[in-house]
Chains A and B, each alone.
Chain A
């Protein structure tokens, strides 16, 4: 048990280190900008007051390393700075509205995105694992071949294609669900769920395909093992062979697959949120990219990267915990 704890702590430290380096990359990338950063972003038409406000806001007169340390320290405490749009505004009114910082802007949208990802996961994970087991059980039957073609097509289609087909079928031709996810604070859970159905369904279709293929591959990988053959030879029924002997051993790869696909959700969410005008963090990110609002872009990027690293780390740790062979490395 002691060694297991040590491995997990090691991984955690490694993940933290990765996050630190990634934050440095994100910070450094923005500082690739030539000359006066504030002037370059705001353009020639910006008022000198706005440029000055941003310059003090970002402390552009300080050395690079100090600025990075400041930014990181503030971010760790939840202070992600003030967006350019806000700094521009503040230069006229002369004060910064505390409810309009990047953190205040991101927090509710982050919760919305988590809700979307959560709903998707609740639908997608059982569906994908179940279908993957069935495909492995009925391999090389028409079901398996049909599933192969369907999943491959679903993986290869861009998210917005799936999204628009769902809008066309379920919102326009048969008005079952709303095509725009207008979510307000203070909405009841049922209403929120109804508005989230179409984006969640889109993500489910894309993610399920990935997960199902990997689950099938993980189980089939094991089916050639001698103990599976033994179980089959002693007259066990095929479903029992899979559930009793193959599945427990395939658990590590499957858990890994699930976590990796949840990490994939992090990026998939961006396009889907834009299609359905879902007020999540991905939409804010894309809007800020278009507005070149660098503090917001930096903050969103950091959050996405952190979520991605965290999920990958979880996959790593779970696969160690569930696999005795990895738990006691030679």
Chain B
């Protein structure tokens, strides 16, 4: 209960500070309009911001708050990297991208940078990684950080797991497996849902009804739950063949997510079908393929592209969650969700060596940074295309 009391006291203190600060500023400036017309809400906001900054400085100076210092440093490094990347983009490259970079907010620059880095790591994983993803190297449970005094080993900068696989190499291969599979799944979902959705929009009638009602039913079951149900059945089908189970997982998630794509593609398609140029193409006697892929699809790319980013995030998080639960991507492949689950118990030793907690948190962080990055980019794209100002 004392927690509540302290919160209330702190709020009251902040309110008093805001009131006194505003009154003081009015006195000191002789009633300058800036302070004379300031509402109490704004003053309170300033007091809150000041308290937050003071609290942050206090935490930074606290010797025990290692993770806070790491988080702030990491955040600052990300911001600086994004800033430098934006400057680079403004001065290098063809004119259209330069113009694009000039209007870009920092968050979007960070997102693009993150996507580029992940793509490079994923494609060249085999060259970058110091060890193989399945290689058992003999030295198990090495602490991250490479400091021998703390139980580390400079040969394995991020340590090794319980059976002695290099965590850094597995992280790098994880980019290839987790991101690659998520990308393939999303692509499949788009091919399936997009083409069916546009087809339903063009043909209409009973086909539209059948497809739409089917999608309605599939969407009434929460996707993670449905995926788990189908994976149970797939695991009986696969009869323990792990590669096959991973393949089934991709198919299952693609089908489940294609329902969401179908909805959007159909809605966008219906808006385009009534346009005059589609009418003209129909009158010309063009076939169904021409109508869908040459007339409608090019005009539906912008919303579908934004949806692709969001859908990728969902698929990626679903795959990571399933792997974390132990039913997604199967063991010999390194993947981030499984790594978090396998390394999770290391967290209990964080009180003795702060570095140990890095082992399970880094794969989780890798997942989070990519999804945050993609979300930032999509957010910016939607903002740009809709012209929303608020």
Contact = CB atoms under 8 A, between A and B. Distances in A.
Contact of A290 (B216, B327, B379): B327
Interface string A252-293: 000000000001001100110011000000000110111010
Contacts of A275: 344
Interface in A281-330: 285-286, 288-290, 292, 294, 297-298, 300-301, 304-305, 308-309, 312
Interface stretch (B22-30, B273-281, B356-364): B356-364
B321 A159 contact: yes
Nearest to A165: B361
B233 interface: yes
B347 A172 contact: yes
A152 B236 contact: no
A270 B237 contact: no
B386 interface: no
A161 interface: yes
Interface in B41-75: 41, 45, 49, 64, 67
B313 interface: yes
B305 interface: no
A223 interface: yes
Contacts of B237: 33-34
Contact of A149 (B64, B107, B317, B347): B107
A262 B4 CA distance: 25
A297 B229 CA distance: 7
Interface in B319-335: 320-321, 324-327
Contacts of A4: none
A156 B324 contact: no
Contacts of B367: 157-158, 161
Given A270-B325, A290-B327, A41 B67 contact: no
**Chain A contact surface mostly:** helix
Nearest to A263: B222
B67 A169 contact: yes
B150 interface: no
Nearest to A161: B364
B229 A158 contact: no
Nearest to A308: B222
A33 to B, nearest CB: 6
Contact of A158 (B64, B216, B324, B374): B324
- A-B pairs with the 8 shortest C-beta distances? A156-B371, A161-B364, A157-B368, A156-B372, A267-B222, A267-B224, A304-B225, A301-B229
Interface of A: 18, 21-22, 25-26, 29-30, 32-34, 40-41, 137-143, 149, 152-153, 155-161, 164-165, 167-169, 172-173, 179, 220, 223-224, 237-239, 263, 266-267, 270-271, 274-275, 285-286, 288-290, 292, 294, 297-298, 300-301, 304-305, 308-309, 312
25 contacts: A25-B218, A30-B229, A33-B236, A138-B45, A152-B376, A158-B368, A158-B371, A161-B340, A164-B344, A164-B361, A164-B364, A167-B347, A172-B347, A173-B64, A173-B350, A173-B351, A223-B390, A267-B223, A274-B324, A275-B344, A289-B229, A289-B231, A289-B327, A298-B229, A304-B225
